[in-house]
A and B are shown apart, each in its own frame.
Chain A
Amino acid sequence: MSSDIHTLSGAYAVDALDDIERAKFERHLSECSTCLAEVDSLREAAAVLADTAFMAPPAALRDRVLAGIETVRPLPPVVSLATERRKRRFPALVAAAAVITLIGAGVAVTQPWQDQTTQVTLTAAERILQAPDAETWTKSPVTGGTIKVTRSRSLNQAVVQAKGLAQLPDDKTYQLWLQHDGEMVTAGLLTDASGATVVLDGDPGTAQATAVSVEPAGGSPKPTNFPIATFEFEQV
């Protein structure tokens, strides 16, 4: 990622990014604590700007606002244990990993102040694992550990659970693939070799196979290595 992205912090703090830049910067924020702290401080500065725009709202608005909340339940807090585990176990979450879901890890990869997705994504893997049509395959790569794939065709989702895989050097990562018509399409990264659960990105429901390979850190658009494990889905 170019160092230039840091300079977007101000525009981000005042919502002056377009949707694409914003998504890109939020991925960056998940791994750059310097930018996160800067955004927080610049939001304080932006808030003082609002001090020049005081205006009393119509009195009736108060009643509408207070009536409006009566039927709405406040969301539960993000459990801090999950956040702690994320910090400890996934220190170097790469940008491309924003497309995958790390279960039990809080998934606070986006701006936590706007984090509405956490509770939902936490259950994504569970939903797949508990689906009535869940199918499971398990393999043990020769390099060690086990990889278990569970797919639900009705949900069009699959989850990979990896345990005890060989640790990779910093410039390598495990990458997940889905095979469609003989083509391998990236389905996310597996950044924690010791143990991780990753929901695949893409369309596992129609894929012929999924595979795991060792690729350059950050992932590769196409496989550059033979897979350490391939799972052929049975097609009906």
Chain B
Amino acid sequence: MDPLRPEVTGVPSSEGAPAAPDLSELLNLSARGDQAAFALLYDAMATRVYGLAVRVVRDPAQAEEVTQEAFLEIWKMASRYDVARGSAPAWMLTIVHRKAVDRVRSAEAATRRDTTYHSQNQAVDHDTTADAAHASFEARRVRAALHSLTAVQREALELAYFGGYTHTEVATMLDLPVGTAKTRIRDGLIRLRDTMGVGA
């Protein structure tokens, strides 16, 4: 198709980091209907998208549905991505997260909540794909950053982001006064942002 497009393999070379595809550019191409670019975008983001979906909705079959819905939305909305407002992965993961949360808040939410958060929280399997090395490196950095949060900030943030709970529900679950969980979530995100040096 387009001979000028750089080849993106996502496979790390033996001596170092994987070639990072320019995801914003792939989004721009997708907005113009370039399906090959979108396939590259899928390859670059699928483990993060599916991983997040699984983490929130728990059920692998439903996580696949959420992943598919989210990618369709990304395809449709690609022209609305504004590089001035944030990174392409953050934009995509915002869409994925919203879809996943919508899913768990719909009718079947009640049953999901019988399972405790912490037992499931440990059950996530890390991927074994080519970018696993990069993934685990990033994951270690994020986990280290998470440790700079206070316990209650971290817990509130994880219940909200991975649990899909509202801040009011989080307050109840953590025995916090109503209205304080939202502050913990915000403080936690700010700390994480500043520690990771993103979104500046």
A interface list, Cβ under 8 A from B? 7-11, 13-18, 40-58, 61-62, 64-66, 68-70, 72-78, 112-116
Contacts and interface: CB of A to CB of B under 8 A. Distances in A.
B50 A61 contact: yes
Interface string B50-88: 111011000000001001100110011111111001110
Given A53-B55, A56-B50, A75-B80, A69 B186 contact: no
B64 A57 contact: yes
Contacts of A113: 80-82, 85, 91, 94
A183 to B, nearest CB: 35
Interface of B: 30-33, 35, 38-39, 42-43, 46-52, 54-55, 64, 67-68, 71-72, 75-82, 85-87, 89-91, 93-94, 96-98, 101, 124-129, 131-132, 135-136, 138-139, 141-143, 145-146, 157-158, 160-162, 164-168, 170, 181-183, 185-190, 192-193, 196, 198-200
B80 A69 contact: no
Contact of B190 (A42, A51, A77): A42
Given A56-B47, A74-B78, A42 B42 contact: no
Contacts of A62: 39, 42-43, 46
A83 to B, nearest CB: 10
A52 B55 CA distance: 10
B132 A54 contact: yes
B127 A74 contact: no
B97 A51 contact: no
A48 B90 CA distance: 8
A69 B75 contact: yes
Contacts, number: 220
Given A10-B182, A43-B199, A52-B139, A74 B33 contact: yes
B50 A40 contact: no
Given A14-B97, A77-B31, A48 B145 contact: yes
Query: Which 8 A-B pairs rank lowest in CB-CB distance, beginning with the nearest?
Result: A10-B186, A44-B199, A41-B199, A45-B193, A57-B50, A55-B51, A77-B79, A56-B127
A56 B193 CA distance: 26
28 contacts: A7-B186, A13-B189, A15-B97, A15-B98, A16-B161, A40-B86, A42-B186, A44-B86, A45-B189, A45-B196, A49-B158, A49-B161, A50-B55, A51-B142, A53-B48, A54-B132, A54-B139, A55-B51, A56-B47, A57-B49, A57-B64, A61-B68, A62-B42, A68-B71, A68-B72, A72-B72, A73-B76, A113-B94
A48 to B, nearest CB: 5
Interface of B (DSSP majority class):
helix
A46 B161 contact: yes
B166 A66 contact: no
Which of A17, A46, A72 has most chain B Cβ within 10 Å? A46
A24 B130 CA distance: 43
Given A14-B160, A18-B168, A56 B187 contact: no
Contacts of B162: 49, 53
A64 B75 CA distance: 14
Contacts of B164: 15
Given A48-B196, A55-B54, A112 B75 contact: no
A149 B71 CA distance: 43
A108 B72 CA distance: 22
Nearest to B195: A45
B99 to A, nearest CB: 10
B91 A51 contact: no
B58 to A, nearest CB: 12
A112 B30 CA distance: 19
A52 B75 CA distance: 25
A54 B56 CA distance: 12
